[in-house]
Homo-oligomer: A and B are copies of this chain.
Amino acid sequence: MAAAEFWYEFASTYSYPAAMRVGALAAARGVELAWRPFLLGPIFAAQGWRDSPFNLYPAKGRYMWRDLERICEALELPFKRPEPFPQNSLLAARVALALEAAERAAFSREVYAAEFGEGRLIADRATLGAALLKVGADPEAALIRAESDAIKALLKTETARAAALGVIGAPCLTTADGEAFWGNDRLEQGLDWARTRSG
């Protein structure tokens, strides 16, 4: 079966519409999707950035917020600009990694909806707990597992693997034959590639 990995960062703005779209797009193409939360911080740091490029380059930031607003409007997704930006996504990423595949995808969508749809803080354990409850997971158990040494180490490994696969931003799709497709606007192209060109 065709397969692709979907790399996303909970603080990433364009990962919000991508997370809401990618499941249906993959299913329609018969592509098996692996949800891969990771951290952009180490990848940006390697390029010399200590903050989001959207903050470092205000003109890019202004463009991105308007662009995201238009995208959400077209998709009929609620949008509320989170403050502060970027949010601290470390705990959310660890929780996502601590969940099994089906719960992980659903939980991730709930986190994005809370963050960019309602403007809630995703570093807040209450926000994550509510998202876990919504997808039928046990919040207390998931949060304990999320902060285990094994999950902390796994998030580092996954982030290093993302960098090695050529992931330079989020969201990003990677395919078995070594291609990377960066951006919400490349989901269709990446999934088409996975279906027709990749192993």
Q: Does A81 contact B (CB under 8 A)?
A: no
Closest Cβ of chain B to A57, distance in Å, is 5
Q: Which of A95-103, A141-149, A180-188 contacts B (4 or more CB under 8 A)?
A: A180-188
Closest Cβ of chain B to A198, distance in Å, is 13
Distance, CA A182 to CA B63, complexed state (A): 9
Note all chain B residues with C-beta closer than 8 A to A57. Answer: 47
Note all chain B residues with C-beta closer than 8 A to A180. Answer: 63, 66
Distance, CA A196 to CA B89, complexed state (A): 38
Q: Does A46 contact B (CB under 8 A)?
A: yes
Contact across chains for A62 and B166 when beta carbons are under 8 A apart = yes
Closest Cβ of chain B to A171, distance in Å, is 14
Note all chain B residues with C-beta closer than 8 A to A62. Answer: 166
Note all chain B residues with C-beta closer than 8 A to A130. Answer: none
Interface contacts beyond A60-B168, A185-B186: sample of 15 additional A-B pairs, CB < 8 Å, sorted by A: A46-B59, A47-B57, A47-B59, A47-B60, A59-B166, A62-B166, A63-B166, A63-B168, A63-B182, A66-B179, A66-B180, A67-B182, A70-B179, A70-B189, A185-B185
Write 9 A-B pairs (CB below 8 A) sorted by A numbering.
A47-B57, A47-B59, A60-B168, A63-B180, A66-B180, A70-B179, A70-B189, A183-B185, A185-B186
